[in-house]
Chains A and B, each alone.
Chain A
Amino acid sequence: MTSLLTIRNGTAAPLRTIPILGAVEFAEAVVGAPARGRRVASLFALPWGTSRAPHLAVVLAHDDAGVLECGVTEIVGHRFASMTESCPEVHLFEREIAENWSVVPEGHPWLKPVRRWQTPNDTTTAEFFQMAGDEIHEVAVGPVHAGVIEPGHFRFQCHGEHVFHLEIALGYQHRGIEGALVGGPKKRTIHQIETLAGDTTIGHAIAYCQLIEALIEEPATARGRTLRAIALELERLANHVGDLGALAGDVGFLPTASFCGRLRGDLLNMTALLSGNRFGRGLVRPTGVALDCEPARGQMLLERLHAAARDIEDAVSLLWTSPSVMSRFEEVGRVTTATARSLGLVGPAARASGLARDVRAHHAGDFFGASPFDLVTNEAGDVFSRAYVRWLETRWALDFVRARLLGLPDGPIRARENVPSTLGASLFAVSLVEGWRGEICHVAATDDGGRFLAYKVVDPSFHNWMGLQMALRDQQISDFPLCNKSFNLSYCGHDL
């Protein structure tokens, strides 16, 4: 078996300890990963050595063992053999590498831009998968959609209502974040991280801070970690509850839709009680958190949570007992376990297709304290399943936040006020966080001056957009909004 460097979530290792594999060996490690119980958490190009020539770098997650495995290989002559045919979960990573580094993954079955269109702004110049036939028609939607939502372009191949295939073209939200992070940390870095995907401010900020802590060898304090875990679950609650309401709205079930709209606001306001900002900006900072939760504040939070928990239970339970809702949720937008596994789906979308994947269960260390974690899965893989998994997670999070508020560890909220502007030199670190959409993966390498040589972000949406495309196969086009909402993926998190 090939030897890879084994590290744990939130730790760093010297760059030189990462094994440089031969191209064949590297491909074997990646392609063979699923069979060995690993999945690809990140695959990217890393400037290597004094020449800074791009090398392929992979981070495999071995969930059962709770470890991560890393390796690199040289890209020779600006090309490498594509692994997508035998390991579909790398399909988008390879396209991204090709685009960012002008290298060719030879034999990639669908090599096209990820974020940088040939003619900026114009998806019409891009190639889309097309079907032929007298009665086949194509539906094009976006980038500007009907609702208040981020931009993306959707192409459906249809026969009447029936969708054979959906292809999604993104990139409209590309702001160039990864490029901006190189050379950091700078004074803007944390703000760019917090706005990387605004509805996941806490999740990405924790991922970043864990990385910094690994690179300066200064862990977050116990109280800081607990407050982060609380904020992370509040973020999950706001989004899960909001989306359950939005799903109800998409099938015209207004009681739950209206209630949940309000309850989501209540949950965001709980985050604002902690941080001043409804999305938690300014709360999570390296080595802990910037703002404390004093006893009176904790008490107020508990009271609000108690009230919200009751209302959430009432509002959401209506869904599962209303035949008109269930008949629209069940057997719509199904993603099989096999498809989910081969695409490398993460988060509730993976768990709703029967995959037991959750950073909180496998890679969290003591982040969640002593609280027992329930990893919930459901086999069905349909809209109902994704909604129901999120409901079970909502319940767990409500209990968890209340329990942690009652048992906040004493001590400082962070270990140091200011982070040094230079980090440990020539290190490599990986940080995973289970955001509400799924696994957030940040990887950083530092140069010999202790600055970011490379910073790779994988938002869960990057893994999951293909899942939505598969969910639409053989569905009615009128079910698209429902399927879309059941994933509710991030555009800016994908586009970076």
Chain B
Amino acid sequence: MAYPAEVPALSDRYLGRPKMDVARCGADCQACIDVCPTDAIVRETRQEGTMGAGKVDERTSKALRIDLGRCLFCQECVKACPEGAIEFTGNHRLAARTRSDLVVEGEAKRLFAALDERMLRVFRRSLKLRQVSAGGCNACEADVNVLNTIGFDWGRFGIQCVASPRHADGLLVTGPVTENMRAALLKTYEAVASPKLVIAVGACAISGGPFSGLGAQNDGLGTLLPVDLYIPGCPPHPLTILEGLLGLLGRIEHDAPP
């Protein structure tokens, strides 16, 4: 696979980066918000916009945003929307560096920055990761594992999963962080030498995914560990994971349209 030079064809039914045309939203409609299983769609009333202070722009006050960190890409919102205002495109580029950059609006340009120079010097050509599954359902794990196979072969970028945290440059975490795995996860993190990275893969690791709010888990990495890279999806496509990692390492261009 020549990725990133060429992007392999994905299923025509693949659901990637969503886009919303909020201009079509009905005044009091909240069909999408009601059906979303993970409360990924948020609506903010905002006073800004083109109509000046004091006047509320009807459209921007209905601004809808999808939190990719919670989204399962289930398309319930698409089906529920009477106006066809939501669409999931085939764009697999979903990763973000900050939690707030995962909350997308309209067709806003994707925000993404590679690691800083100092970190790039350390990690750019060799990134060894310790994978920790903390309640992952094995789908995220499988689509991380597949990056090892001859197709994706992330070894060609110097990326590898290693057996010991002592050999690792960071953690790649999947799952909502079950209460029963919390201590093991934190201990594994401590065992990694600094500087170190934390990568959250999948809706569960970012927000708890379909399990958010349940008492036996922690709604993802949240405040437990500082996260350097968020890779959304349920599970993310392997390309999405690879793209995020290459972006982090400054090995892929990000000025392509979102």
Among B14, B149, B217, residue most surrounded by chain A Cβ atoms (within 10 Å): B149
A143 close to B184 (CB less than 8 A): yes
A24 within 8 A of B: no
In the bound complex, CA of A490 to CA of B148 (Å) = 21
Among A143, A171, A177, A268, residue most surrounded by chain B Cβ atoms (within 10 Å): A143
B35 close to A187 (CB less than 8 A): yes
Interface string of A298-315 (1 = CB under 8 A from B): 000000000000000000
* With A176-B216, A188-B37, A262-B150 as contacts: A195 and B182 at CB distance below 8 Å: no
- B180's partner among A144, A174, A199, A261 (CB-CB below 8 A) is A174
B142 within 8 A of A: yes
In the bound complex, CA of A68 to CA of B216 (Å) = 33
Interface residues of A: mostly helix, strand, loop or mixed? Answer: loop
| 8 Å CB interface, A325-341 against B | none
For A173, list chain B residues within 8 Å (CB): 133, 135-136, 175, 178, 180-181
B184 close to A175 (CB less than 8 A): no
A276 close to B15 (CB less than 8 A): yes
* With A150-B138, A174-B216, A191-B210 as contacts: A122 and B163 at CB distance below 8 Å: no
B169 within 8 A of A: no
A120 close to B182 (CB less than 8 A): yes
A121 close to B179 (CB less than 8 A): yes
Q: Tell me the smallest distance from the CB of A293 to a CB of chain B, in Å.
A: 11
In the bound complex, CA of A191 to CA of B142 (Å) = 18
Interface string of A463-496 (1 = CB under 8 A from B): 0000000000000000000000000001110010
A275 within 8 A of B: yes
A272 close to B180 (CB less than 8 A): no
- A276's partner among B14, B134, B146 (CB-CB below 8 A) is B14
* With A143-B184, A175-B135, A198-B137 as contacts: A291 and B142 at CB distance below 8 Å: no
What's the count of A-B pairs with C-beta under 8 Å?
173
Q: Tell me the smallest distance from the CB of B122 to a CB of chain A, in Å.
A: 23
B214 close to A120 (CB less than 8 A): no
For A276, list chain B residues within 8 Å (CB): 11, 13-15
- A151's partner among B145, B181, B204 (CB-CB below 8 A) is B181
* With A173-B135, A175-B176, A276-B13 as contacts: A199 and B142 at CB distance below 8 Å: yes
B61 within 8 A of A: no
B143 within 8 A of A: yes
* With A191-B210, A282-B74 as contacts: A172 and B181 at CB distance below 8 Å: yes
| 8 Å CB interface, B96-155 against A | 130-146, 148-151
In the bound complex, CA of A191 to CA of B234 (Å) = 10
B214 close to A172 (CB less than 8 A): no
A191 close to B161 (CB less than 8 A): no
* With A187-B35, A272-B10, A272-B11 as contacts: A175 and B183 at CB distance below 8 Å: no
For A195, list chain B residues within 8 Å (CB): 137, 139, 204, 209-211, 234
In the bound complex, CA of A198 to CA of B148 (Å) = 19
* With A143-B184, A278-B237, A279-B235 as contacts: A198 and B35 at CB distance below 8 Å: no
In the bound complex, CA of A122 to CA of B151 (Å) = 39
In the bound complex, CA of A117 to CA of B183 (Å) = 13
B132 close to A144 (CB less than 8 A): yes
- B131's partner among A148, A265, A282 (CB-CB below 8 A) is A148
In the bound complex, CA of A258 to CA of B152 (Å) = 12
A281 within 8 A of B: yes
For B35, list chain A residues within 8 Å (CB): 187
B145 close to A197 (CB less than 8 A): no
Q: Tell me the smallest distance from the CB of A188 to a CB of chain B, in Å.
A: 4
In the bound complex, CA of A175 to CA of B234 (Å) = 16
B133 close to A149 (CB less than 8 A): yes
Q: Tell me the smallest distance from the CB of A300 to a CB of chain B, in Å.
A: 10
For B207, list chain A residues within 8 Å (CB): none
B13 close to A172 (CB less than 8 A): no
For A258, list chain B residues within 8 Å (CB): 149-150
A199 close to B138 (CB less than 8 A): yes
A73 within 8 A of B: no
For B14, list chain A residues within 8 Å (CB): 272, 276-277
Q: Tell me the smallest distance from the CB of A420 to a CB of chain B, in Å.
A: 15
| 8 Å CB interface, A156-212 against B | 171-177, 179-180, 187-188, 191-192, 194-199, 201
In the bound complex, CA of A265 to CA of B211 (Å) = 27
A115 within 8 A of B: yes
- B37's partner among A120, A174, A191, A197 (CB-CB below 8 A) is A191
A121 close to B183 (CB less than 8 A): yes
Interface string of B147-173 (1 = CB under 8 A from A): 011110000000001011100000000
B151 close to A262 (CB less than 8 A): yes
In the bound complex, CA of A269 to CA of B130 (Å) = 27
* With A148-B145, A172-B180, A272-B14 as contacts: A188 and B136 at CB distance below 8 Å: no
B146 close to A265 (CB less than 8 A): yes
B188 within 8 A of A: yes
A372 within 8 A of B: no
Query: Which partner residue on chain B sits nearest A191 by CB separation?
Result: B210
Q: Tell me the smallest distance from the CB of A196 to a CB of chain B, in Å.
A: 7
For B182, list chain A residues within 8 Å (CB): 120-121
For B163, list chain A residues within 8 Å (CB): 146-147
- B184's partner among A121, A180, A269, A291 (CB-CB below 8 A) is A121
A27 within 8 A of B: no
A148 close to B175 (CB less than 8 A): no
In the bound complex, CA of A444 to CA of B36 (Å) = 25
A198 close to B133 (CB less than 8 A): no
In the bound complex, CA of A117 to CA of B184 (Å) = 14
Closest 10 pairs between A and B when the two form their complex, measured CB to CB: A198-B139, A276-B13, A198-B137, A121-B183, A261-B149, A146-B163, A176-B216, A191-B210, A272-B11, A195-B137
Pull 22 A–B residue pairs with CB atoms less than 8 Å apart, ordered by A.
A116-B180, A148-B145, A151-B132, A171-B180, A173-B180, A175-B214, A176-B215, A187-B76, A191-B234, A195-B204, A195-B234, A261-B146, A261-B150, A262-B151, A272-B11, A272-B13, A273-B13, A276-B11, A279-B142, A281-B73, A281-B74, A282-B74
Extra pairs beyond A144-B132, A175-B216, A281-B72 (5, CB < 8 Å) = A143-B181, A144-B130, A148-B141, A187-B37, A276-B11
